[in-house]
Chain A
Amino acid sequence: MISNDFKDGLIREIPNLRAFAASLSGSIQLADDLVQDTLLKAWGNSEKFEPGTSLRAWLFTILRNTYYSLYRKRGREVQDSEGTYAERMATQGNQESHLDLADFRKALAKLPEEQREVLIMVGATGLSYEEAADICGVAIGTIKSRVNRARTKLAELLSIGSVDDLSPDRTSTAAIQRARSETVGF
């Protein structure tokens, strides 16, 4: 018999599951299908969840495995035909932050999956490096290096290699960054 605690836990985690699924698949429609599959699997395997451990980490593991086994190809097809959700998703907030967010999402979508998923887990979901390592089935050191590479790549894509580049001028910043690091030596 499934406890009310378990069911309430599932309901509480739905917004996080959607956000993680959208980050993985690049599509909010696919994300909702993915969340639905995840909830069904979680319900059917509820006896495998150990009370007292992180329900979020457990659900993310299911969602991630489902994505890689069933959704990855579909994700690419949807992105090819419709563009990523970065271009389509309605967002709240003022116009300026909306534009920033859209730019950021386009850059995020360009990261390799293995880097994107860990950056989201560690940087946005509140999961620890250890939990991320468990979910991905790799060592903590691997998670750390993926996070680091993901940040570096994002900075490059967004042309914010240094503080000065946080200004809107995006042209030739990469070249400037390269020249500056050679000159100053860092």
Chain B
Amino acid sequence: MTNLEAAMADPGGDNDDFDMVLDPKVQESIGRSLKAHYDDIVNAPVPDKFLVLLAQLEATEQRAAGASPDDLK
């Protein structure tokens, strides 16, 4: 049991943060919804612009690394 679970399982605590004890099934339900919300976006197609951006950054860097002082006018 983690500290958090222990704290949440203790209904008599005098800590204001823990005054409402959530049923484990309610916690589970919230956990599932959280994952559903997050994973829905994680699994969405990634716009091409991010890969384009990284490719541009890489190309710029390679040009800079490959250019000798004579090449820079």
A residues near B (Cβ < 8 Å) are: 1-2, 7, 10-11, 14-16, 18-19, 22-23, 28, 32, 35-36, 39-40, 43, 91-93, 97, 100-101, 104-105, 108, 119-120, 123-125, 129, 144-145, 147-149, 151-152, 154-155, 158, 160-163, 165-166, 186
Contacts and interface: CB of A to CB of B under 8 A. Distances in A.
B1 interface: no
Interface string B21-43: 11101110111011111111111
A2 B58 contact: yes
A22 B30 CA distance: 18
A36 B33 contact: no
Contact of A7 (B15, B27, B54): B54
A119 B37 CA distance: 12
B54 A152 contact: no
Contacts of A32: 47, 49
Q: Is the contact region of chain A dominated by helix, strand, or loop, or is it mixed?
A: helix
Interface string B1-30: 001100110010001011011110111011
Q: Which 9 A-B pairs have CB atoms at the shortest separation, nearest pair first?
A: A124-B38, A19-B41, A145-B17, A104-B33, A123-B34, A15-B42, A124-B34, A163-B25, A19-B42
Given A15-B43, A155-B30, A148 B38 contact: no
Contacts of B40: 91-93, 101
B43 to A, nearest CB: 7
B67 interface: no
Given A35-B50, A100-B33, A129-B4, 15 more contacts: A7-B54, A11-B54, A32-B47, A36-B49, A39-B50, A104-B36, A108-B34, A120-B38, A123-B34, A124-B35, A144-B4, A144-B7, A160-B30, A162-B26, A163-B23
